[in-house]
Amino acid sequence: MPVYEYKCKNCHYRFELKLCFNSNDDSIVTCPKCGSKANRVFSPVPIIFKGSGFYTTDVKRAKDKTSKPEVEPDSSKH
């Protein structure tokens, strides 16, 4: 069962509850301290970047890049 975080509207107390997945009714959640209605708190999910291209060591620096050789004009056509 997932754990949800709630915050009381009245006293701003934060607490956690284990609820079933099919329990969609947040109107029945009350604060354990004062008995007022509590709202669910939504938090951002951490992002983990995996793979190449996300670190400075994966990017070539300008001095590390090799330049393409210039094409010399063909003098045999003249």
pTM of the model: 0.54
Question: In DSSP terms, which residues pair with 5 in a beta bridge?
Answer: 16
In a domain, 22, yes or no: yes
**How many structural domains is the chain composed of?**
1
Range of the domain at 16: 1-43
Edge to edge, the sheet with strand 38-40 lists 14-18, 3-8, 38-40
In a domain, 64, yes or no: no
Compute the radius of gyration of the chain from its Cα atoms.
30
Give the whole-angstrom CA distance, residue 43 versus residue 67.
Answer: 48
In a domain, 63, yes or no: no
Residue 75 — φ and ψ, nearest 5°? -85, -5
In a domain, 5, yes or no: yes
In a domain, 6, yes or no: yes
Model confidence over 33-78: pLDDT tens digits?
999 999 999 988 888 777 766 666 655 555 555 555 556 666 566 5
In a domain, 67, yes or no: no
Determine the distance from the C-alpha atom of residue 30 to the mean position of all C-alpha atoms in its chain, rounded to a whole number: 30
